[in-house]
A and B are shown apart, each in its own frame.
Chain A
Amino acid sequence: MKPTRRQLLYGSGSAAIGMAAISPFVWDAIKPQKPIPGGIVGANSARGHRLRDGAFPAPIDSGKHDVIIVGSGIAGLSAAYHLDKAGIRDIRVLELEDHAGGNAHSGKNDVSTYPWGAHYVPLLSSESGHIKDLFRDFGIITGEADGLPVYNEDYILNDPDERLFLDGRWQEGLLPTLGVSAEDQAQYKRFLAQMESFKVKRGDDGRRWFAIPIDESSTDTDARALDRLTMKDWMLAAGYTSEPLHGFVNYGCRDDFGVRHDEISAYAGIHYFAGRDGKAANTKPDSVITWPEGNGFLAHKLAEPMAGRILPNALVYNINDTGAGVVVDYWDGQVSRRLTARAVVIATPRFIAGRLVPPLKSPDFTYAPWVVANLTLNRLPGGAGADLAWDNVIKDSPALGYVVATHQVPQMQPLRTVITYYWPLTHLSPAEARKEAIARTYEDWQKLFLSELYRVHPELVGHVAHMDVWLWGHAMIRPMPGFIWGEAREGALKQAPPIFTAHSDMSGISIFEEAYTHGLKASQAVKAFLA
């Protein structure tokens, strides 16, 4: 008997079909009859690579400002936001792309706004008092009760937050509960309890072992020793052997850092679970703050007062301290222009900063490539076992799963939605993975994402109205063993006026709080320097 489409999708062993391994036969059965509109959008690698390869024409004009900020990700925007607040208004932010936001970039169509990168912030940690003010300004924290911040209910992540696809059905939560042994359960419990104890563990200096921002952490040697082995090795040494637990931790590491748990520093891996000790008066401690457009909400709010002072499509190719001001040359796609400033903040990843200012070069800074796809759906994804959640994870998938943009809309049943698929390319070394990714066509990506989506959601066949794919060649700093508490990062934290740096990679972990903190600190340093 000819197998039906459903049997092909759900047949025995089909759960093992990875995204890359789907058979051409299956793909023929489910591939779109009509081409799905969309394409590869975003991060302009061709223009970025001009910096690596190209010579630029001489500037045709010049201008003068107090401060130039290179890069308009969260760090650059935060620096600009605080300089502006401090009364230093003669600022220009130069951005390579045609939009501000960096990893917090977002998109919008007639269905919803949606994230292209970072898409949530945990409740602010006990060391993040400096971010509380910002959250108050932005209406994210609306008050205080019982000594705890009250978060805006619209932004607190709605229930159900996550579900896992496993053995043909969905379950609530990300830790597999179906068909796991008592030993697995016992290890889950012990692991989660140990993470809870790490959350409150303090060193002799009174600081938490795992703080956010990371530089507020304790200097205890025992804590820092965790930075010298991988997460997987640490788990095995601590007696964690459960396969589903390793799968869960590996998922967490790939999700937050774009690095597998057998490669990442154990310090970073544990930090993911133990760093977030935030509490709120009106929601659970492990809750997060999110928006349909993800952290694009924060990027827009930070960029708002800077309107007119952010120059998009500006590829900075030269930064030079002349002694009488810092010269910044950039190419706007047609011509080169020159700006001179009293101070410059380089708010780019270190690999770009090193190209602009050679002493900043550091080979220890490595970056994880990611692919993100946004799919517009004409119906909501279904699935047996658990209702559609915010974060929908497919076990043993190379991709992380998808986030539903309309999740925070209190509408009972939106008829259409946008889902954002995240895929850190961790199956190869970053360089190889980037090469493989750049060579892929839109059709290749479509096949990879849709064959996975349709395997889990056969009901969506024919309901994908649009699909865009974004390639992040250097999405996140990779906290490999020895990086977070190593010399390269320590060196990168030193500022050399009048050229300052601000970026989350200076923390070794790519999260909003770190980027914001570096932006804020750079603004304070610039202000002190200018004064």
Chain B
Amino acid sequence: MQRLLLVSVFVIATCGLIYELIAGTLASYLLGDSITQFSTIIGTYLFAMGIGSWASAKVDKNLLAFFVRIEILVGLVGGSSAAILFLLFDQVASFRFLLYFIVTVIGILVGIEIPILLRILKDRYEFKDLVSRVFTFDYIGALFASILFPLVLVPHLGLIRSSFMFGIFNVMVALWLLYSIKEPLPWARLHKIAAGIVMIILTLGFISSDKISSLAESNSFAGHVIFAKSTPYQRIVITRQQSDIRLYLNSNLQFSSQDEYRYHEALVHPVMSALQAPRNILIIGGGDGLALREILKYPSVAHVTLVDLDPAMTKLFSSSPMLRKLNQDSLHSPKLKVINADAFMWLKHLGANRPIFDAIFIDLPDPSNFSIGKLYSTAFYGLLHTVMGPDSLAVIQSTSPLVARKSFWCVNNTLRASGFQTSPYHALVPAFGDWGYVIASNRPYTVPTRYPAGLRFIDADTARDMFSFPPDMGPIATKIQRLDDQALIHYFDEEWSKYLIY
């Protein structure tokens, strides 16, 4: 009996520290800034343990039964904590509140454990032996947990499965006690049933951890998956590693917060700064609000229409505090009108009273399949004409002219075949590579020499250089991307498949 209780100390000490580590790790995955997260999580956890210790004095009777209940509860809350936090990250208004609430609850429960155990054991040992043994096992458990966590649990089991597993250990302690104690325990049957139910829940959770974390797809991405959602249109995944936040759509990288300013400044400013006083702007795609952030740097802008297929994208980037910080809350601009629609169908069915946009930004995923390929076709570019005036400019992100030279020039040549004059350029975006853009216009385009203050990448010199292509990226003749013959998709497939690293 004594030995059993001392083993329990070891187990609950390990579990207790594991929950703390899981909460700290999760917080730094999801919220970033690991020093702050770990520090505040540990502080909160220890403080909550203090509350637990203090509260333990209020319990007078049936200490053993109470201890069993605490174990079951710790098992339930602690064991499912990682899954709950992962799943609710994007669902609750204030994730931080939920995080600290769960940490506090676990802390209080864990804080009750040791004092109660001490009191259960107080009659079986001398005080000095009791304190020495209990704390010895407690600290050994802590050491065991702290070594196990980084070396075995995180790399091999993952956070969600580890947390369920240690929840199961907690409940096993409870069950072990229930079945091995000779002395009568009030409501023993009910306790067994409760422990059994929690055990089943945790086991199910453990088994389906893969499903829960397949939402996270941790293995296929650099960094930790902090958001994952399948919409009817695509799979949205956001990862974070240190301060690098990345967006993936259908596993294709859309931006890295480390260098997205290069991509978006290069997309927006060569067009915006070339216009007299651009008022009416259209963005196609770009539901992340990052191109919009750059566009709003021009005070002349009065209306921005953003057409993005997926409401989940615009919702995510206008609600998550972390992402709102990244796009400087551009999606809440009063100048913005968001239209969640298919861009092709929207343009086709605009009706007779077509608005004229001064600038159009086409920030779509790469032409990697026949569905998205429609938005790179002569038919689509033909529709662009109907919403552009003689001085309007459109710019199209056009994949990498270095990796996919034919694809890039195919976009350029398709725009020309659609009756536009084109001005192709490129910029180095480390997360993507050497990235290409094409400006489409009805009149000759001149690279601007003045840009808004405060840009990090674009200035007159950089901009001028972007428009020259070294020989290995220079113009080539290609087929034209048409709805009935999507040459671009074949080019893209062929060219990118050669690059293993992507």
- Which chain A residues have a beta carbon within 8 Å of chain B's beta carbons? 153, 156-160, 283-284, 287, 379, 387-388, 409-413, 415
Q: Among B348, B375, B379, B484, point to the contact of A412 (Cβ < 8 A).
A: B375
Residue numbers in B under 8 Å from A413 (CB-CB)? 232-233, 309, 342, 371
| Closest A residue by C-beta to B368 | A387
A156 touches B484 (CB 8 A): yes
Residue numbers in A under 8 Å from B369 (CB-CB)? 387
Min CB distance, A411 to chain B, in Å? 5
- Which chain B residues have a beta carbon within 8 Å of chain A's beta carbons? 232-233, 309, 342-345, 348, 369-375, 379-380, 482-486, 489
- How far, in angstroms, from A387 to B380 measured CA to CA in the complex? 20
| Closest B residue by C-beta to A378 | B232
- How far, in angstroms, from A410 to B374 measured CA to CA in the complex? 7
Residue numbers in B under 8 Å from A160 (CB-CB)? 370, 486
Q: Which 5 A-B pairs have the closest CB atoms?
A: A159-B486, A387-B370, A156-B484, A410-B344, A411-B342
A159 touches B371 (CB 8 A): no
Min CB distance, B252 to chain A, in Å? 15
Min CB distance, A142 to chain B, in Å? 13
Task: Answer whether A287 and B484 are a contact pair too, CB < 8 Å, given A160-B370, A387-B370, A415-B232.
Answer: yes
A157 touches B380 (CB 8 A): no
Residue numbers in A under 8 Å from B343 (CB-CB)? 412
Min CB distance, B383 to chain A, in Å? 9
Residue numbers in B under 8 Å from A287 (CB-CB)? 484
- How far, in angstroms, from A411 to B343 measured CA to CA in the complex? 8
Between A153, A379, A413, the greatest number of chain B beta carbons within 10 A of the residue's beta carbon is seen for: A413
A156 touches B232 (CB 8 A): no
Residue numbers in A under 8 Å from B370 (CB-CB)? 159-160, 387-388
Min CB distance, B207 to chain A, in Å? 16
| Closest B residue by C-beta to A172 | B490
B380 touches A410 (CB 8 A): yes
Min CB distance, B470 to chain A, in Å? 32
- How far, in angstroms, from A284 to B484 measured CA to CA in the complex? 8
B372 touches A412 (CB 8 A): yes
- How far, in angstroms, from A379 to B231 measured CA to CA in the complex? 12
- How far, in angstroms, from A412 to B482 measured CA to CA in the complex? 14
Task: Answer whether A157 and B484 are a contact pair too, CB < 8 Å, given A410-B379, A412-B372.
Answer: yes
| Closest A residue by C-beta to B379 | A153
- How far, in angstroms, from A160 to B373 measured CA to CA in the complex? 11
Task: Answer whether A153 and B483 are a contact pair too, CB < 8 Å, given A160-B370, A411-B342.
Answer: yes
B345 touches A410 (CB 8 A): yes
Min CB distance, A290 to chain B, in Å? 11
Min CB distance, A36 to chain B, in Å? 21
Min CB distance, B6 to chain A, in Å? 42
- How far, in angstroms, from A114 to B379 measured CA to CA in the complex? 23
B485 touches A159 (CB 8 A): yes
Residue numbers in A under 8 Å from B485 (CB-CB)? 159, 283-284
Residue numbers in B under 8 Å from A387 (CB-CB)? 369-371
Residue numbers in B under 8 Å from A388 (CB-CB)? 370
- How far, in angstroms, from A529 to B378 measured CA to CA in the complex? 50
Residue numbers in B under 8 Å from A410 (CB-CB)? 344-345, 348, 374, 379-380, 483
Min CB distance, A443 to chain B, in Å? 31
- How far, in angstroms, from A412 to B485 measured CA to CA in the complex? 16
Min CB distance, B367 to chain A, in Å? 11
| Closest A residue by C-beta to B232 | A415
- How far, in angstroms, from A159 to B370 measured CA to CA in the complex? 7
- How far, in angstroms, from A159 to B233 measured CA to CA in the complex? 20
Residue numbers in A under 8 Å from B379 (CB-CB)? 153, 410
Residue numbers in A under 8 Å from B348 (CB-CB)? 410
Between B345, B484, B485, B489, the greatest number of chain A beta carbons within 10 A of the residue's beta carbon is seen for: B484
- How far, in angstroms, from A148 to B370 measured CA to CA in the complex? 28
